[in-house]
C-alpha cells in the first residue's frame, strides 16, 4: 500500500475512455449474471425493501437483476457517465433506480443505504490515503445496521485490471482494510471467466457492522445534525492551547483568534475521543475557501498523525467548528489527489510553515475538508 494515489482527473479520463463507444459486453469484467453478488446479498438477508448502492457499478447487470427481484431503491454510482448511460439505455426511466456520476472518493452522500455493493472497484485503491477516503465514504453512506458486499481480485488474481495496478486481497485482508467495526459473515472464492476466455480468481466477502450505531433522534437514512457534542470536556494539557480556547470561546472569537503573535487567524474544532469519549478542542490555522475549511493534520511535521486525525477518521460527522461567535456542526472528509493539492496550496498560503512541516516528515500530511452541515 505505498503507491502514490492515482490522480482523480486521470481516473475520470481513464474510465470515460474505457467505456466510450465500447460494447460493454466485451470488457474483461463483464458477467452475464452477478451470481456472487446475489448469493452474498441472500446470505446477509438483504430484502427488496432495503436501499442498495452499487459503487463503481459501471454497466453491471446487478441493478437489472435487483429491479426484477422487486427492489425499489437501487443507486448506481460510477465515475464514468458513459458506463451509466449504457445501463440507463437498458433500463429506461425506472424511478426505482438512481444514477450518480461521481468519483467515489470525493462523494458526499446525502443519505444512507442498507447495503453497499462493490465489485472490482476497491482493488484499484493502491495507496493508504485512497483506502482511508473509501472507508470514510463507506462509513457515511452505510446505515447503522448496514451490510457490505465487496469483490476484489484474489491474491492469485491478476496484478492489473483495465491496465491499472490493483491491490489483491483475501477475505481477511478486505475486512481488516475496512476496520474493526465490520465482521465477516460469508466468504466466497469465484473464478470469473472474462469474455476473452481468461480465468480471474476473485475474493468475495460479505460483512456487517459489528456494533450498530444508534443515532438518537435521527430520521432513518438521514444524517443527524449534532449541535453539541456529548461527553466530558478535556481541556488541552498545553496551557497556551487551553487558554486560547477559553479566551476564544468566552469572547465569541473576538479575542485569541490568531496563532500567538503571528497575526495569522485560527479556528477551533471540537471532536469526541473515539476511545475516551472525551470532548476535545483544537485550534488550527484558518484555511477557508468558499465556506469550507481545511484541517491540516501536520502536528508540526512530527512522524505520526495527531491523535485528532484518528478521531476524525472514526467519526467524521461528529465535529464542530468555530470561526466566529458560535460553533457550527460540520462534516469532514479526507481529501486526496488533485483536491488535496489544491487545498494544500491554500493551507501553505495561509500558513507557510506547513511547507516546512511536510519536508520534515516522511508521511504525507493528511488534509481534511470541513463543510458546514445545513
Ligand atoms: C472493473 S469495473 C467494475 C464495474 C462493475 N462493478 C461490474 O462489476 O461490472 C470498475 C468500475 O469502477 C468505476 N470506478 C473506478 N474508480 C472509481 C471511482 N473512484 N469512483 C467511482 N467509480 C469508479 C469504473 O468506471 C468502472 O465502471
Do 245 and 190 belong together in one domain? no
Domain-located, residue 195:
yes
> How many folded domains does the chain comprise?
2
Q: Judge if 310 and 167 occupy the same domain.
A: no
Q: What one-character DSSP code corresponds to residue 274? A: T
Of 5, 12, 15, the residue with max ligand 1 atoms within 8 A of its CB, to mutate for a pocket test, comes to 15
Query: Looking at residues 16-35, what average pLDDT do you find?
Result: 95
The last residue of one of the domains, among 191, 209, 227, is 209
The CA distance from 75 to 114, in Å, is 11
CATH at residue 69: 3.40.50.150
Whether residues 78 and 190 fall in one domain: yes
- Judged on CB neighbours under 10 Å (0-12, 13-18, 19+), 284 is buried
**Distance of alpha carbon 321 from alpha carbon 228, whole angstroms:** 11
List residues near ligand 1 (CB under 6 A): 11, 15, 29, 56-58, 60, 78-80, 83, 103-105, 119-121, 124, 161-162
Whether residue 226 is contained in a domain is answered as no
The listed range with the strongest mean pLDDT (29-38, 129-138, 256-265, 270-279) is 29-38
Q: What is the CATH number of the domain that holds 259?
A: 2.30.110.10
Would you state the pLDDT for residue 5? 57
Å from CA of 349 to ligand 1 middle: 35
- Indicate whether 201 and 261 sit together in one domain: no
Whether residue 218 has pLDDT greater than 60:
no
The domain boundary, picked from 157, 189, 209, lies at: 209
**Residue 228 belongs to a domain:** no
Phi/psi region, residue 15 (left: phi>0; alpha: psi -120 to 50; beta: rest), is: alpha
CA 271 to ligand 1 center in whole angstroms: 34
Query: Same structural domain for residues 86 and 182?
Result: yes
| CA–CA gap between residue 52 and residue 42 (Å, rounded) | 13
Q: Verify that 190 and 98 share a domain, yes or no.
A: yes
How far does the centroid of ligand 1 lie from the alpha carbon of residue 118, in Å? 8
Residues 333 and 189 in one domain: no
120/204 Cα distance (integer angstroms):
10
Asked whether residue 214 is domain-assigned, the answer is: no
Residue in 243, 318, 310, 314 with CA at minimum distance from that of residue 283 = 243
Length of the chain measured in residues: 374
Residues 189 and 40: their CA atoms lie apart, in Å, by 11
Domain assignment present for 232:
no
- Give percent of the chain above pLDDT 90: 72
Query: What is the Cα Rg of the chain in Å?
Result: 22
Report how far apart the first and last C-alpha atoms of the chain are (Å, whole number): 36
Q: CA-to-CA distance for 331 and 363, rounded, in angstroms?
A: 24
Q: Which range, 3-12, 253-262, 270-279, 337-346, is most confident?
A: 337-346
Query: How many Å apart are CA 344 and CA 365, to the nearest integer?
Result: 9
Q: How confident is the model at residue 3 (pLDDT cuts 50, 70, 90)?
A: low
Domain that holds residue 54: 8-209
Alpha helices in 222-280 (DSSP H): 239-250
Of 190, 209, 228, which residue is a domain's last?
A: 209
| For residues 14-28, average pLDDT | 94
Q: Is the pLDDT of residue 141 over 80?
A: yes
| DSSP string covering 183-199 | EEEEEEEEEEE-TTS-E
Amino acid at each position: 500500500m505505498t503507491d502514490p494515489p492515482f490522480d482523480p482527473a486521470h481516473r475520470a479520463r481513464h474510465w470515460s475512455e474505457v467505456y466510450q463507444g465500447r460494447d460493454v459486453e466485451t470488457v474483461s469484467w463483464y458477467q452475464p449474471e452477478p451470481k456472487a453478488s446475489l448469493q452474498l446479498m441472500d446470505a446477509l438477508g438483504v430484502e427488496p425493501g432495503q436501499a442498495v448502492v452499487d459503487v463503481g457499478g459501471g454497466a453491471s447487470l446487478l441493478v437489472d437483476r435487483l429491479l426484477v427481484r422487486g427492489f425499489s431503491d437501487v443507486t448506481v454510482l460510477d465515475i464514468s457517465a458513459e458506463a451509466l448511460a449504457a445501463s440507463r439505455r437498458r433500463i429506461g426511466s425506472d424511478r426505482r433506480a438512481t444514477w450518480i456520476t461521481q468519483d467515489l472518493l470525493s462523494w458526499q452522500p446525502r443519505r444512507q443505504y442498507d447495503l453497499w455493493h462493490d465489485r472490482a472497484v476497491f482493488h484499484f485503491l493502491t495507496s493508504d490515503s485512497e483506502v482511508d477516503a473509501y472507508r470514510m465514504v463507506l462509513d457515511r453512506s452505510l446505515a447503522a445496521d448496514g451490510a457490505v458486499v465487496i469483490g476484489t481480485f484474489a491474491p492469485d488474481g491478476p496484478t492489473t485490471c483495465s491496465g491499472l495496478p490493483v491491490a489483491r486481497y483475501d477475505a481477511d485482508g478486505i475486512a481488516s482494510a475496512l476496520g474493526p467495526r465490520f465482521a465477516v459473515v460469508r466468504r466466497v472464492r469465484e473464478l470469473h471467466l472474462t469474455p476473452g476466455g481468461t480465468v480471474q480468481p476473485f475474493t468475495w466477502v460479505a460483512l456487517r457492522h459489528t456494533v450498530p450505531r444508534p443515532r438518537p433522534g435521527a430520521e432513518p437514512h438521514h444524517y443527524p445534525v449534532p449541535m453539541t457534542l456529548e461527553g466530558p470536556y478535556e481541556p488541552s494539557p498545553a496551557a497556551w492551547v487551553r487558554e486560547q480556547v477559553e479566551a476564544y470561546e468566552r469572547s465569541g472569537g473576538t479575542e485569541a483568534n490568531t496563532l500567538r503573535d503571528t497575526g495569522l487567524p485560527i479556528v477551533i474544532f471540537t471532536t469526541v475521543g473515539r476511545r475516551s469519549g472525551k470532548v476535545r478542542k483544537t485550534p488550527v490555522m484558518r484555511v477557508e475557501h468558499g465556506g469550507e475549511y481545511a484541517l491540516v493534520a501536520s502536528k508540526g511535521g512530527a512522524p505520526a498523525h495527531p491523535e485528532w486525525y484518528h478521531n476524525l477518521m472514526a467519526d467524521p460527522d461528529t465535529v464542530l467548528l468555530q470561526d466566529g461567535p458560535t460553533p457550527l456542526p460540520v462534516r469532514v472528509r479526507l481529501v486526496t489527489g488533485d483536491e488535496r493539492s489544491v487545498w494544500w496550496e491554500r493551507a501553505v498560503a495561509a500558513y507557510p510553515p506547513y511547507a516546512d512541516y511536510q519536508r520534515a516528515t516522511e508521511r504525507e500530511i493528511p488534509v481534511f475538508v470541513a463543510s458546514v452541515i445545513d
